[in-house]
Amino acid sequence: MSDEFVKGLFALCGGLFGWLVLSSWYNTESFESTTQLIAPSPDLGSLYGGLALTAREALFWFAVFGALTFWVVIPAARQARSAWSDRQSS
């Protein structure tokens, strides 16, 4: 059970770290503003800029769904499988 917690924590921290790095590169207009990491994404004409902004969104959702998968879905599936096998054996 602790290995699922660590995997979920890694997904959360790793995904959010990547999101933080890419957001600081592409979405920080100035360090004096209040919207440093959540400013609107710039219109980048390059392929690499578009890939970076796509990777930024993918890393955010990887962090959210990765943590939920390892912390909620996998333990719930194991519990359901255990309950199902106990029900069939009775």
Contact by Cβ (8 Å): 70, 4: yes
Residues 5-56: pLDDT tens digits?
999 999 999 999 999 999 888 888 777 777 777 777 778 778 998 899 999 9
Residue 27 gets which letter from DSSP? S
Cα–Cα dist 81/74, whole Å: 10
Report whether pLDDT(86) > 90.
Answer: no
Determine the Cα–Cα distance for residues 55 and 51; give it in Å rounded to an integer.
6
The pTM for the full model equals 0.81
